Structure 1
Amino acid sequence: MVDLVVQRPEGLYCPPGHFYIDPWRPVARAVITHAHSDHARIGSGQYLAAAPSEGVLRQRLGEIHLQTLAYGEAITHHGVKLSLHPAGHVLGSAQVRLEHGGQIWVASGDYKVAPDPTCDPFEPVRCDVFITESTFGLPIYRWRPDAETFADINSWWARNASHGRASVLTCYSFGKAQRALSGVDASIGPIIVHGAVDPLNRAYRAAGVVLPDTRMVTEVQDKADLRRCLVICPPSAAASPWMRRFGDARTAFASGWMQVRGNRRRGGYDRGFVLSDHADWPGLMSAIAATGARRVIVTHGSIPVMVRHLGEQGLQAGSFDTEYGDDSVEADAQAARGAEAS
């Protein structure tokens, strides 16, 4: 049997369908799992993605030739039946289901299984072969319920506000920022967002996602608001001149990487909140099991650990060497540099 997805220099390729999934080089036809910059890159001829991702894809990639599919809607291309299914990662994120020659493969992109009001929940898709990420593919990564994390964030903000200090919560501008906004208590004070975050908020709201009212710092009339506000910005903005407007602010980073002691200290943050848009170890294991796949291919993250563990569970486990991973951080850095005047 012919593998439905193979690795090529341009990216992950479907030979019978003559298209790529999240290619890292320009190609003629690209199926995109979500709009983070390591999975959605400019330069390809035609793009196919889930309908809810259209706004953020166009905001990040500009003018592209884009076809969208509703979740669960199927098309056939060169004999390959293709459909997109919710991945629960960010707005519009999708798993790619491929059916051809008696085989079903699913390429998951990035995913999480925890509830998130800003995107459709992860949908397990039965398949023969499952391509999984492994960003947090180590047993130490186990997320607390969101309610507990947001209670900690709101308590930190309220305490800072009572002392006349701004609370600067740094997080990736696409996905994490909107998820953070969806969980904070807007009654504590005004919410200010960085210029890299605001256009993505608009795309989320246009897609029907409910977010609290936010302002740009240039829209603040009462300077006292700058001493009790919550600021949502990308990590690079916390070390930029843009931060001077908030005086003696307190800073925090929201990320799954805050699970590891020392990451907050090395980043120079006052606080670290464990909040991830990726599945933790139990989430990865439950998602893989729910597919029923007997063959699993692991991409970006803790690949050797995942492959070894899955093999010990009796699965046929292997890996693809991809260029997915940290580009969303660099994209936020670039966006922050371009929006520091906002």
Structure 2
Amino acid sequence: MLAASASANAPPADVITLTDKGLYCAAGDFFIDAWKPVHRTFVTHGHSDHAHVGMGEYYCSTTSEPILRWRLGEQNIHALPFGQSITMGEVQVSLHPAGHILGSAQVRVQHGDAVWVFTGDFKREPDPTCEAFELLRCDTLICEATFAYPVYAWPTIAHEVERIERWVAHCKEQGKAAVLYAYSLGKAQRVLAGLTGKLDAPVLLHGAMARGTDIYRQAGIALAATEMVADVPVDTDFAGRMVLAPPSAQDSAWLKRFKQVEQGFASGWMLLRGNRRRRNMQRGFVISDHADWQELVDTITECGAQRVLATHGNTDALIPYLQSLGIQAERLRTAYGDEEEAAE
């Protein structure tokens, strides 16, 4: 009798658990953002730390599908409209906008009365290049913690775009090209959207930027006019031209064609001057596709979660802060990285 009573009072099993292959929902028999081959996974977005080849089936948002096909090749992909609930085993699953990049999704899983949400990477600042973040009520929230320190407070994108414009004008006076490094999926397109109608000449693109930019345009997103660097005659005077390139182009032979350049980097990490110095950049522009500290805290407190599992970053400040608010908070050690740091 005592054993039966203890069993009846035992806490319910976790709806989503961490395995060596990714986050797993046993009641629905699927993974979320699996990093090793599995039979079935939901993919929150197309960045390479969340989307991997080798899965049996992929589930993603409708607007993420072209990105996954570009980055993963031909796969067995099932695209779902945002908000549409499907039944898998004993659970109901739906995808909701995360506001990170085009098509990025949060995964909502309901098992009986228990609701779990995995945010994936997310931000709440308005962004015309992707669907706006949707706040979801839940019991347990698994959220990213990429910039989980109070020092991270983003300026507006309009402020940083104005700084880019002034920088390009300065480079023109100096007879230099303005080479801005930005991640080729999401960040580059956000910069281009901000610069729409604000420069005298088309933005020059490194080849790595082409396919992602085309996909965004095909989705109906307005972006600044662009030209491919490869299509511009080699004897062109690049003074005052804005060039977008991936971080891997820094110090490469490709860069030599511009002769005189100033180099900048667009990333949330540029908020700290030391990060800019380490990258040997003349300019740093604080443009992030992740939530800053206040957005992160607001999301956690507004969603009503009684339990928070923080991943994808440093949780040293976040967990004690949440515990001081009476929220059960723990660290979840996943394999997700930060593509803003990737040299791609």
TM-score of the two chains, using structure 2 as the length reference? 0.94
Secondary structure in 2 aligned to 1:197? helix
Is 2:257 the partner of 1:245? yes
Q: Report how many residues are paired.
A: 332
CA RMSD of aligned residues (A): 1.3
Amino acid at match of 2:108: R
> Quick one: distance in 1 between partners of 2:73 and 2:199?
36
Pick closer, same or farther for the CA change 1:27–1:327 going to 2, 3 Å: farther
Identity %: 46
- Deviation of the 1:218 alpha carbon: 1.8
- Distance in 2 between the 1:327 and 1:280 partners? 16
Asked if residue 182 in structure 1 is aligned to residue 193 in structure 2, the reply is: yes
Q: Does 1:86 align with 2:122?
A: no
CA contact (8 A) 1:17 1:77 kept: yes
TM superposition shift of 1:187: 2.7
Residue pairs, 1:127-138, within 5 angstroms? 127-138=138-149
Match among 181, 185, 204 for residue 170 of structure 1: 181
2:32 — aligned with what?
Answer: 21
In structure 2, which of residues 150, 155, 177 is the aligned counterpart of residue 144 of structure 1?
Answer: 155
Q: Which residue type is aligned with residue 21 of structure 1?
A: I
Quick one: structure 1 residues 126 and 167, their matched pair in 2 at CA, closer, same or farther if it must change by over 3 Å? same
**Partner amino acid, structure 1, of 2:83:** G
Q: Partner of 2:210 in structure 1?
A: 198
Match of 1:301 in 2: 313
What displacement does 1:195 show?
1.0
Q: Does 1:272 align with 2:284?
A: yes
1:294 positional shift:
1.0
Report the CA distance between 1:327 and its aligned residue: 4.9
Q: Is contact 1:196–1:233 with CA below 8 Å preserved after alignment? A: yes
- Paired position in structure 1 for 2:82: 71
Q: Residue 47 of structure 1 contacts residue 66 of structure 1 at CA under 8 Å; is this kept in 2?
A: yes
What is the alpha-carbon distance in structure 2 between the residues aligned to residue 287 and residue 144 of structure 1?
19
Counterpart CA distance in 1 for 2:327 and 2:341 is 33
Give the one of 3, 6, 9 matched to 2:14.
Answer: 3
Deviation at 1:247, TM superposition (A): 1.0
2:130 maps to amino acid: C
**Secondary structure in 2 aligned to 1:139?**
coil
Mapping 1:313-324, distance limit 5 Å: 313-324=325-336
Q: Deviations over 1:222-259 (max 9, x none)?
A: 84452221110111102110001111111000110011
Find the aligned partners of 2:194 and 2:60 in 1 and give their Cα distance: 27
Which residue matches 2:227? Answer: 215
Q: How far 1:188 moved relative to its partner?
A: 2.9
Superposition TM-score, scaled by structure 1 size: 0.94
Q: What is the CA–CA distance in structure 2 between the aligned matches of 1:123 and 1:174, rounded to whole Å?
A: 21
- Alignment deviations for residues 40-74 of structure 1 (CA, whole Å, 9 cap, x no partner): 01110000001111111111111110001111111
Q: Distance in 1 between matches of 2:273 and 2:226?
A: 32
Equivalent residue letter for 2:194: G
Equivalent pair of 1:37/1:328 in contact (CA under 8 Å): no
Deviation string, structure 1 residues 149-206 (Cα, Å, up to 9, x no partner): 1111111012212332110000111111110111125433231111111111011111
Asked if the contact 2:44/2:104 (under 8 Å) is kept, the reply is yes
Contact 2:207 2:230 in 1 (8 A): no
Q: Is the 8 A contact 1:190 1:225 kept in 2?
A: no
Question: Structure 2 counterpart of 1:278, which letter?
Answer: H
Find out whether 1:233 has 2:233 as its counterpart.
no
Query: Which runs of 5 or more residues in structure 2 are unaligned?
Result: 1-11
Distance 1:223 1:99 in 2: 60
Specify every segment of 5 or more residues in structure 1 that has no aligned partner in the other structure, as ranges.
334-342
Tell me the secondary structure at the aligned position of residue 316 of structure 2.
Answer: helix
The more displaced of 184-193 and 300-309 is 184-193
Alignment of 1:30-49 (within 5 A): 30-49=41-60
2:128 match: 117
Q: Which amino acid aligns with 2:311?
A: T
The letter of the residue matching 1:42 is V
Matched to 1:208, the amino acid is G
